[in-house]
Amino acid sequence: MFDNVYKGLRVFITGHTGFKGFWLTTWLLELGAETAGWSSGLPTEPSGFRALGLERRISHFDGDMRDREGLEAALKAFAPDIIFNLAAQALVRKSYADPVETFAVNAAGTLNLLEAVRNIPSARALVLITSDKCYRNDEWVFGYRETDRLGGKDPYSASKACAEIIAHSYFHSFFNTGPLRAATARAGNVIGGGDWAEDRIVPDCARAFAERRPVIIRNPEATRPWQHVLEPLSGYLRLGARLLLENTAKERGLHGEAFNFGPPAEVKAPVGELAKALLRYWPGFSISADPDDPDEDRGKKESTLLKLCCDKALALLDWKAVLSFSETVRFTALWYNSYYQGMDEMKKGGTAPDMYALTVGQIGDYCALARERNLAWAR
């Protein structure tokens, strides 16, 4: 899988303790990569990273994206072949509360990484993950393409647009003639087991289920193109593999490009429908009406439906998504069920759940479905 390029490779991940980060770390370990991560502690409690015991399996550097000197020192110490940048302040509503931190981490942090990478001779490829919200949302009904206008009314979206612009500048100013191959990746509306971030629908539902209380839905009619976390990660890994192969072949076809990774157009549903779909797996779970405070939320609006056109990823990477909406919900719910059932058993004197094995099992099931459906990246 992925042309077997990751076996024995040295891979550095920023934001490896986060939701996407711990899934990517696990997948890379199973692909045989030697993996290191840079992150500022654990973003949530509980934590998927801790639940899997990943601190015992990789090299861990504790640091902040705003610390360029520390980041460069960690990169030099590990000497990676490829870098995946996932570190971010990732919440739209939090960006209203602290816009300075959001821009400092997402925009200036990207700048710090790019500047540090200039001094890392071992690095052959770089994948910078931004967000689907880097596009200026003009409320179109069709999918945004990589050439569409960047922008953002909220601080989070604007910070991700800034990161894309900074990356584009560095790709063409400093990395266009050297050995490094680099590209950006854009995805959003990602769900899956092990996400406990605040103010997200699935973590909110999971916490409510665990605490035996109703979940409060803020915007039940808001429609999103939901995708399981393994969908964009397969795209990132495919893109990274191709960049590495281009480096070996001394080609530059993908260098400096941006790629969207998202589900098929039909894989979308309102927030309320997603919560109801989880009800099938979580007996006793219930949904409560939103006690929205108009004064609190005035002026803090998130975008309506924002879809991505992924034709470029299909054409240049032979990549497309795997899961249906129902499969996405099933993968997500079963991960949380296993975790919370295991926690209940521990309270009764039983053993801790093996969440690493379960996560690896879901990666295996996902890849098996991709092969069964004859997807090129999974062969």
Domain limits, the chain? 2-268+304-378
Confidence of residue 290 (pLDDT cuts 50, 70, 90): low
Confidence of residue 350 (pLDDT cuts 50, 70, 90): confident
pTM reported for the whole predicted model: 0.95
Q: What is the DSSP string of 194-251?
A: T---TT-HHHHHHHHHHTT-PEEPS-TT-EE--EETHHHHHHHHHHHHHHHHHHHHT-
The answer to whether the beta carbons of residues 379 and 4 sit under 8 Å apart is no
Q: What does pLDDT average to over the chain?
A: 92
Does the pLDDT of residue 299 top 60, yes or no?
A: no
Confidence of residue 84 (pLDDT cuts 50, 70, 90): very high
What is the reported pLDDT for 298? 47
Does the pLDDT of residue 301 top 60, yes or no?
A: no
Greater confidence (331 vs 137) lies with 331
Percent of residues, the chain, with pLDDT higher than 70 = 96
Q: Which of 87-96, 104-113, 231-240 shows the lowest per-residue confidence on average (mean pLDDT)?
A: 87-96
Does the pLDDT of residue 294 top 50, yes or no?
A: no
Does the pLDDT of residue 55 top 60, yes or no?
A: yes
CA angle 39, 43, 47 (to 5 degrees): 105
Quickly count: other Cβ atoms within 10 Å of residue 214's Cβ.
12
Confidence of residue 265 (pLDDT cuts 50, 70, 90): confident
What is the reported pLDDT for 219? 83
Q: Collapse the DSSP code of 106 into the 3-class scheme (helix H, G, I; strand E, B; otherwise coil) and give the result.
A: helix
Fold of domain 2-268+304-378: Rossmann fold (3.40.50)
- CA nearest 133: which of 171, 170, 89? 89
CA angle 177, 182, 188 (to 5 degrees): 155
